[in-house]
Amino acid sequence: MGILRVGHVDLKVGDLDQALHHYVNIIGLSETSRDAHGRVYLKAWDEWDAYSLVLSPAGGPGLNHIAYKVEHDNDLNVLAEKIGSHGVEVSWNAEGYLHQCGRSIGFDLPSGHRMYLYAEKAFIGKAVGTLNPEPWPDGLLGAGVHWLDHVMLTCPVDENRGINTVVTTTDFLMQVLGFNLAEQVVTDDEGKNQFATWLFRGTKAHDLALGAGGGTGLHHIAFYLEDWNAVLRGADILGKHKVPMDVTPQRHAITRGQTTYFFDPSGNRNEMFAGMGYFAQPDMPTITWLAKDIWRGIFFHDGTPRPDFLENYT
């Protein structure tokens, strides 16, 4: 019962043709449909629902919304009541309001990000099928990512005014939506002033991460690859296409992921991410990092400070 996984993100992009070239020919997604508003819908080969990424020609960059899939349609009723009881306005949306989805609910997180929950989305299936499947499909383009893995949001924090929406959004996600806290970065000895958090609704280290910033924004969206060699190959493909790089292949100590970061043509930060990190469970003790050690947590190999990595968001 409750939330299953991240279902899709809706990104603002500038030049739609450039964005499609990036996400199809370089990342390896497939276009599945378009709507009357000019939005394009894409999925990765190892996903079964109709799409996980929406490209909205809205000038970009930035995030329109993030959507999560719940297990049962009645979960929407239960969660809408819980969300409303916490003083958050909930909108009910009819089938089709979210493209190829059943009915949905929408609301704003304490951080200001728009989130939707839905139970049904059109089914397409994995590119390899389900009967005696091959380990990967022929004809993959670019890096051939497996699925949309996670999203990191930037949340407004103003210590002078006593505002920290990393804390309030983390609490909302855990207490109301049933997320679990895998890791956190704290700025105080008591571990209460969270600078960043990594949350999950499954068994991987995170589906959703939150980080402190000057406003409501998107830090990155991440696509899953099988292993370290696939990350290196993905970085080679980025190099061949002269994609603007942010972080060349590196190891995270936080979540133990293997990673490379880069930007799409509109300026939205992307990540290719490998490694499941560890077996996350609700009773797992939360891993805590002190803010003074954050750079070793993010960039384990050398721990070099990169303030722009945290400050640059859309």
58 φ/ψ angles, rounded to the nearest 5 degrees = -125, 25
Q: What is the C-alpha to C-alpha distance for residues 93 and 82, in angstroms, rounded to an integer?
A: 17
Calculate the CA dihedral of residues 189, 308, 16, 123 and round it to 10 degrees. -30
Which one is catalytic: 41, 68, 220, 224? 220
Cis peptide before 265 (omega within 30 of 0): no
Active site residue 241: no
| Catalytic option among 22, 23, 252, 313 | 252
Residue that is written with structure tokens 């589906």 in the block:
207
Helices (H), the chain: 16-20, 73-85, 165-175, 228-240, 294-298, 307-311
Best CA proximity match to 278, nearest among 202, 221, 192: 202
Joined tokens for residue 112: 């200001």
Helix (H, G, I), strand (E, B) or coil at 58: coil
Active-site residue, 206 included: yes
Q: Which of 276, 293, 304, 88 has its CA nearest to residue 195?
A: 293
Tell me which of 23, 99, 271, 313 is the catalytic residue: 271
Query: Listing from the earlier edge strand, what are the strands of the sheet with 30-34?
Result: 30-34, 40-43, 53-57, 3-13, 63-70, 114-118, 104-108, 91-93
Which listed residue (23, 116, 224, 261) is catalytic?
261
Indicate which residue of 150, 183, 224, 313 is catalytic.
150
Give every CB contact of residue 212 below 8 A, 6+ residues apart in sequence.
154, 155, 157, 164, 166, 195, 196, 310
Q: Is 313 a catalytic residue?
A: no
Of the residues 22, 113, 206, 219, which is catalytic? 206
Residues annotated as part of the active site: 150, 206, 220, 252, 261, 271
